Amino acid sequence: MSFSWTRVRAITVKELRDYRRNHFVVATMTVLPLLFIVLPLIQVFDAYAHVDSSNLNLHVGLSMLYMLVIPAFLPSTLSAYSVVGEREQGTLEPVLITPIRPEEFLVGKALAAFVPTLVIAYLVFGIFLAAAGLFAHPAIASAIYAGTHVLVQLLFTPLLAGWGIWIGIAVSARSTDVRVAQQLSVLGSVPLLAILALMSLNVIAVSTGLAVGLAAALLAVDLLAWRAVAAMFDRERLITGSHA
Amino acid sequence: MESRQATTGTAGRQPRSAVGPLTPTGGEHAVTVEHLRKHFGERVAFEDVSFAVGHGEVFGFLGPNGAGKTTTVRTLGTLLSPTSGSATVAGIPVSAENGPEIRSRISIMPESPGLYLRLTVMENLECFAGLYELNDVRGRIDRALRAVNLEDRAGDQCGSLSKGLRQRVALARALLNDPAVLFLDEPTSGLDPVASREVHGLIASLRERGVTIFLTTHRLEEAERLCHRVAILNTTLRMIGRPDELRDQLFSRSLDVRVRTPLQDPNAVLGGLPGVEGWKKLPTGYALAVSDPELAAPAVARALVAAESDILSIAESRHSLEDVYLELINEDVEAKSR
């Protein structure tokens, strides 16, 4: 039996339906993005009055960093629940009884976290860009649109989300407690966010080439992570708590 | 006591699908198991288990908690790897490589329904139809819901259903792919008598349609009522056969004779009668060990009438499957305590 997108779709659709009716998930997906659009906008609108023009780029970078928190942390909390949560609710065994392969199950789970994250993150970024372009001081708007800020944001949003998702699923597949899985998966996203913080704050001078190179490396890591997490997926341990 | 095993058995009927077209299974048996064994580290879940389940047979798998019933089902369903031994399910050898193929041909209904409670009945079934890559999804779901009498609850959120209804949804889910073998793991566990009776009725209707069912339970009346054959497992397989065969293997046949007043000389009345091998006094009469109750009963009646005894009743004593089960499990308990 080969890889089946029908089975992947079944898992993704089920997950999205479940998210939609889960008040906790809806609240998280609403409040977190709201928080991380309001804070950078305040910072951007306030910047010209208080910030030295030489530090403007740094200030803009900091406000953009807020928005990378969305793809870094939003999917990791969702994906941390993906395996251990189903196991706790007793819904994992009926799924594992079907012909589904670990790779299909994991891709289905990953897409269910990836799609809404990407939609929300790009929507929030779009609103930020529009608001900055329309209402911020032209010097600030120019600092936002110029340079590599937009490129970094566009390139790294999906890749950061992918990293957070695979870390979350990996932890979830090995954990026995949802709360522990969520804490560990959020921690797992911090190192990558730290690198992006250094780039956003110009500690690491970002050229277009460096951004694209890092993005390609992260894409490779995300793909390898999928295979690694699939290899870690042990049906027997997930069902009985013991190894084969 | 030696374990009594058998490796044959069929209900003698051709398999027919519960809700759709026939699923080809191949092979003489739907399930064959040979010297199967599963350990978790030092702990033995089950060992040296051998049996076969015929096409269209309802096979009961009995045993106390921790006997290895669920682990056996999970092993046959390729969720767990056997430590040693071999098995075929739906004509396919059980192995990790064959897992997806076997799982596409069978269904397992676990003890807990494991439904997505925020999703509707229809959405739950749609998800599983996708996981089995089924065609005509709506038609199959309709037929599965009809089979469990839940057509009018398709739009209900599963979280709003009673435990019994959730169990029926889980059964509908298990029927979606027209399984060659349907494994039911404690299907009435935790259900009240009314809900249990409903599930029994559904299993009986599946049996009538020729679905091969592997039923694990510790409800003995359930097994006696529904199963063609039963196996009793207590880590090792203790006995296998039709319920009446098990009774005959374990207990000698006897007649219970009740009389108004005790016989003055029972030996003179009961001794030497055709078919009667011995007797013992009971508070209300006599228990006669007999080789053939149909031969012995008229002779006993005639002898009692001749002895001018007032007969209240003469009946063959019936041992239930529960008696068989308790006898075997007690043997194990005694063997362990020695």
Q: The domain spanning residue B119 has which CATH number?
A: 3.40.50.300
| Whole-structure pTM value | 0.80
Q: Are residues B201 and B269 in the same domain?
A: no
In a 10 Å sphere around its CB, with 0-12 CB exposed, 13-18 middle and 19+ buried, how is residue B311 labelled?
A: middle
Instruction: Quote the pLDDT of residue B90.
Output: 92
Dihedral sign from CA coordinates of A126, A130, A136, A137: positive
Look at strands B58-62 and B43-54 and give their pairing.
unpaired
Instruction: Quote the pLDDT of residue B6.
Output: 42
Do the chains contact at A91 and B115, CB–CB below 8 Å?
Answer: yes
> Shortest CB distance from B114 goes to which of A17, A90, A242?
A90
Dihedral sign from CA coordinates of A28, A34, A40, A43: negative
The verdict on residue B80 lying in a domain is yes
Range 42-101 of B in CB contact (< 8 A) with A: 71, 74, 77, 79-81, 99-101
Instruction: Quote the pLDDT of residue B299.
Output: 92
Q: Are residues B240 and B124 in the same domain?
A: yes
Which site among B131, B178, B181 would you substitute to test the A interface, given the most A Cβ atoms closer than 10 Å to its Cβ? B131
- Which chain B residues are Cβ-neighbours of A21 within 8 angstroms? 118-119
* Nearest in space to B244 (alpha carbons), one of B260, B227, B267: B227
Instruction: Quote the pLDDT of residue A35.
Output: 83
- What is the mean predicted confidence (pLDDT) over B148-162? 93
Main-chain dihedrals φ then ψ at residue B98, nearest 5 degrees: -85, 0
Model confidence pLDDT, tens digit, residues B278-288: 888 888 889 88
The verdict on residue B159 lying in a domain is yes
Q: Are residues B220 and B302 in the same domain?
A: no
Q: Are residues B142 and B266 in the same domain?
A: no
Q: Which residues of chain A carry a pLDDT beneath 70? A: 1, 47-55, 147, 199-202, 206, 242-244
Q: Are residues B303 and B179 in the same domain?
A: no
Q: Are residues B150 and B203 in the same domain?
A: yes
Number of structural domains (chain B) is 2
Cross-strand bridge partners of residue B60: B215, B230
Instruction: Quote the pLDDT of residue B89.
Output: 95
**Amino acid identity at B174:** A
Q: Are residues B105 and B216 in the same domain?
A: yes
Q: Provide residues of A within 8 Å CB-CB of chain B.
A: 1, 4, 6-7, 9-11, 13-14, 17-18, 21-22, 89-101, 235-236, 239-240, 242, 244
Q: The domain spanning residue B268 has which CATH number?
A: 3.30.70
Q: Are residues B236 and B257 in the same domain?
A: no
The verdict on residue B11 lying in a domain is no
Q: Which residue do the tokens 């999970």 mark?
A: B74
- Measured between alpha carbons, how far is B109 from B27 in angstroms, rounded to an integer? 24
What interface predicted TM-score (ipTM) does this complex get? 0.85
- Which chain A residues are Cβ-neighbours of B140 within 8 angstroms? none
User: Strand ranges (DSSP E) for B134-187?
Assistant: 181-185
Instruction: Quote the pLDDT of residue B18.
Output: 35
Q: Are residues B171 and B258 in the same domain?
A: no
Instruction: Please work out, in degrees rounded to the nearest 5, the angle formed at the alpha carbon of residue B264 by the alpha carbons of B263 and B269.
Output: 65
Q: Which residue do the tokens 């559904």 mark?
A: B202
Lateral strand order in the sheet of B254-259: B276-282, B285-290, B254-259, B311-316
Our CA-based measurement puts residue A100 at a distance from the nearest CA of chain B, in whole angstroms, of: 6
Q: Are residues B211 and B281 in the same domain?
A: no
The verdict on residue B17 lying in a domain is no
Instruction: Quote the pLDDT of residue A50.
Output: 63
The verdict on residue B104 lying in a domain is yes
Domain span holding position B101: 29-247
- What residues contact B27, with CB distance under 8 A and at least 6 apart? B88, B90, B91
- What residues contact A158, with CB distance under 8 A and at least 6 apart? A71, A114, A118
Do the chains contact at B170 and A94, CB–CB below 8 Å?
Answer: yes
Q: Please check whether residue B159 touches A, CB under 8 A.
A: no
Model confidence pLDDT, tens digit, residues B179-222: 999 999 988 887 788 878 888 888 888 888 888 999 998 888 88
Q: Are residues B165 and B184 in the same domain?
A: yes
Q: Are residues B285 and B216 in the same domain?
A: no
Please tell me what DSSP assigns to residue A54: G
Model confidence pLDDT, tens digit, residues B276-315: 888 888 888 898 888 888 889 999 999 999 999 999 999 8
* Nearest in space to B51 (alpha carbons), one of B36, B63, B70: B36
